[in-house]
């Protein structure tokens, strides 16, 4: 697998984001209505990754910075968005590798905590996040009053700098794209 940092509106990113939106429609009856500006995922205050296997885009995810001047966030927060793996590539550890790289890059950019919102109809996402050290946190965002919404957070620390990453993530090469 190769991970490439791309613009949120890169054609491969757009394709994968459209697919994840369709996944939300299947599970929840509508796409995610959280406001997203592609510029939010531009360094140094954000990043969007696409994972490729044999040159084919198969997974994605990004983070965008938030701080305490925004409702529900504290200085140093970064929000995970659009984590997705195409169905044919699931079960290979790709989501875990993307997540590890997002954690590493967010910390390198000075972010101190990652937060995310998911839902009860995504049990595999909840399992990934909780097994990766994320714990429940106060709800935020457009779904904070929805009963099926679940929010999680993880404090970033030096163990994410590379030595503490799992074997699957350690084999990832990050390329600009």
Which tens digit of pLDDT belongs to each residue from 115-153? 999 999 999 999 999 999 999 999 999 999 999 999 999
Enclosing H/E stretch for 119? strand 113-119
Q: SS3 of 154, please? A: strand
Q: Which residues, at least 6 apart from 15, have a Cβ–Cβ distance to it below 8 Å?
A: 57
% pLDDT > 70, the chain: 89
Which tens digit of pLDDT belongs to each residue from 7-26? 999 999 999 999 999 999 99
| Length of the chain, in residues | 177
Q: Give the residues across from 104 on adjacent strands.
A: none
Is the confidence at residue 173, as pLDDT, over 80?
A: no
CA end-to-end span of the chain: 15
CATH class label, 2-176: alpha beta
pLDDT value of residue 177 = 52
pLDDT value of residue 169 = 36
Domain definitions of the chain by residue range: 2-176
Is the confidence at residue 82, as pLDDT, over 60?
A: yes
pLDDT value of residue 92 = 97
- Mean pLDDT rounded to a whole number for the chain: 91
pTM (predicted TM-score): 0.89
pLDDT category at 37 given cuts 50, 70, 90 is very high
Which phi-psi region, left, alpha or beta, contains residue 95 (left: φ > 0; alpha: ψ -120 to 50)?
Answer: alpha
Torsions phi, psi for 96 (to 5 deg): -65, -40
Q: Is 101 within 8 Å of 114 (Cβ atoms)?
A: no
Which tens digit of pLDDT belongs to each residue from 90-110? 999 999 999 999 999 999 999
Q: Is 97 within 8 Å of 169 (Cβ atoms)?
A: yes
Strands 173-176 and 149-155: unpaired
What does the pLDDT average to over 139-168? 78
Is the confidence at residue 57, as pLDDT, over 90?
A: yes
What does the pLDDT average to over 38-48? 97
Q: What is the DSSP string of 28-90?
A: HSS-------GGGGSTTSEEEEEEEETTEEEEEEEEEEE-TTSTT--TTEEEEEEEEE-GGGT
């Amino acid at each position: 697998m190769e991970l490439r940092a791309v613009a949120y509106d890169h054609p491969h990113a757009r394709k994968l984001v459209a697919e994840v939106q369709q996944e939300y429609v299947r599970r929840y009856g509508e796409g995610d209505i959280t406001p997203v500006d592609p510029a939010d995922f531009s360094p140094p205050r954000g990043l969007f990754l696409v994972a490729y296997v044999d040159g084919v885009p198969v997974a994605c995810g990004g983070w965008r910075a938030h701080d305490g001047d925004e409702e529900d966030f504290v200085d140093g927060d970064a929000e995970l968005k659009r984590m997705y793996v195409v169905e044919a590539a699931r079960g290979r550890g790709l989501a875990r590798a993307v997540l590890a790289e997002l954690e590493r890059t967010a910390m390198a950019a000075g972010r101190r905590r990652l937060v995310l919102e998911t839902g009860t109809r995504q049990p595999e996402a909840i399992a990934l996040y909780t097994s990766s050290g994320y714990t429940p946190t106060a709800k935020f965002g457009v779904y904070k009053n929805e009963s099926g919404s679940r929010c999680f957070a993880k404090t970033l620390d030096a163990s994410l700098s590379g030595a503490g990453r799992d074997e699957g993530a350690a084999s990832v090469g990050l390329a600009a794209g």
